[in-house]
Structure 1
Amino acid sequence: MAIIAPAKVNAKPVSFDSPPRPIFCYGTLMSAAVYCKVVGTASAPLSKPATLVGYRRRQVRGATYPAITPATADDKVEGLVVHVETHDQVRLLDLFESDDYERQTVRVHLAGEAVDVDVYVWASGDNLLSKEDWDFEDFLQNRLQEWLRDKEVFGDRPEDDQQEHPHGHHFVTAARELDRLRNTNSA
């Protein structure tokens, strides 16, 4: 089995005594159902629409999720600023995104105000990205239910770690970490 590493972190540090910095979600995590499954909560977190200027959202080749990359000042990405509740949830998000991404601190426009947030920026090379933009509405209509039904992604963990996972091993790694955190917190 390939070792799946969490996202690289190049974000401004946040004290563990302080709440985590909000995350700018621009892909599958904009779905409350996906976000809740990843971080292990029953209810959707507080989120607000925001715009990230100077980046472009693109489809990852052969995948059903996007990536963002730096672009021109005319480019922008619409998404949601999500208020992450705990530092453990940030760790789960880092695992979910994997080392294909780097968590960085950026400034977004939120209700006419500039706000610092963390965002996962693509770190694995442009050759893995299509020239096409990723479409959230298409994901919601044609892929979301597939993701939520997939037992290898969000349900029972497969016994055979060599098995191919349709959305990547990082989902299973994040899910196992969520199980570990739940067991630690309930002990």
Structure 2
Amino acid sequence: MTITRQNSPLTPRPLFLYGTLRAMPLLAWALTGDSRKTDVVTPLVKLAELKGYARFSLLGKDYPALIKHSETSVVDGLLLRPQDKSQRRKLDDFEGEAYIVTPVQVAVEGQMVDADIYLWNGEPDAVSTDCWDLDTFIRERLDDWIELFAGIELVGDDVDA
């Protein structure tokens, strides 16, 4: 396998998305402020896999936790290549403090790609033994999330502090 590194000072590291942000309307809202703009975000993602981690439901939550797991564990997801630092900041803000950004390598179309993940950094007791399922989230909760976030936009100012 080839290892691909595509980060520059102007382009943030790619992100491996494994949870709610794989729902294109939610990703569109997070990046553009409009859940209907899925056509804008779809070209930014590719199918990807992450080895050595597992995705679990969180007790009483709609979103999952990603935790380090056995070397044979594989999590399916999307590799997102944010177009600028503002998009990356929006996603960092969306994920919040319960997650820590962690560098990994993910498999995309037969190549290993450097990326970041949002690794669960919350209470271990909050992690269920149940697997988290995107289809269930989309079917049962996505509309509620979109309604909750309607009229709100993540800022993601492109200002260096």
Please state which band the TM-score falls in when normalised by the shorter chain.
0.7 to 0.9
Which blocks of at least 5 consecutive residues in structure 2 are unaligned? 1-6
Aligned equivalents of 2:151 and 2:13: distance in 1?
Answer: 31
The match for 1:124 among 122, 125, 149 is 122
CA separation in 2, counterparts of 1:156 and 1:117?
Answer: 30
Query: Are the aligned partners of 2:106 and 2:113 in contact in 1 as well (CA < 8 Å)?
Result: yes
Match of 1:57 in 2: 55
1:86 corresponds, among 81, 84, 97, to 84
- Of 23, 32, 35, the residue aligned with 2:15 is 23
CA positional deviation for 1:125: 2.5
- Which residue does 2:25 correspond to in 1? 33
| Greater Cα radius of gyration, structure 1 or 2 | 1
Question: Shift in Å at residue 156 of structure 1?
Answer: 4.1
2:150 counterpart (155, 174, 177):
155
Distance 2:102 2:85 in 1: 16
Q: Is the 8 A contact 2:22 2:77 kept in 1?
A: yes
Give 1:18 deviation, angstroms. 2.6
Stretches (4+) displaced over 4 A: none
TM-score, scaled relative to structure 2: 0.83
SS across alignment from 1:95 = helix
Matched, 1:44 2:41: yes
**Residue identity opposite 1:92 in structure 2:** K
State the alpha-carbon separation in 1 of the partners of residues 143 and 136 from structure 2.
12
TM-score w.r.t. the length of structure 1 is: 0.72
**In 1: Cα distance, 2:82 partner to 2:151 partner:** 25
Distance (Å, rounded) in 1 between the aligned partners of 2:151 and 2:29: 13
Q: Which amino acid aligns with 2:150?
A: G
Report the count of equivalent residues: 147
Identical-residue share of aligned pairs (%): 31
Q: Whole-Å Cα distance in 1 between the matches of residues 12 and 24 of structure 2?
A: 19
Q: Which protein is richer in strand relative to its size? A: 2
- Give the Cα–Cα distance (whole angstroms) in 2 for the partners of residues 128 and 39 of structure 1: 28
Mean Cα deviation higher: 125-134 or 33-42: 33-42
**1:33·1:44 contact (CA, 8 Å) conserved in 2?**
no
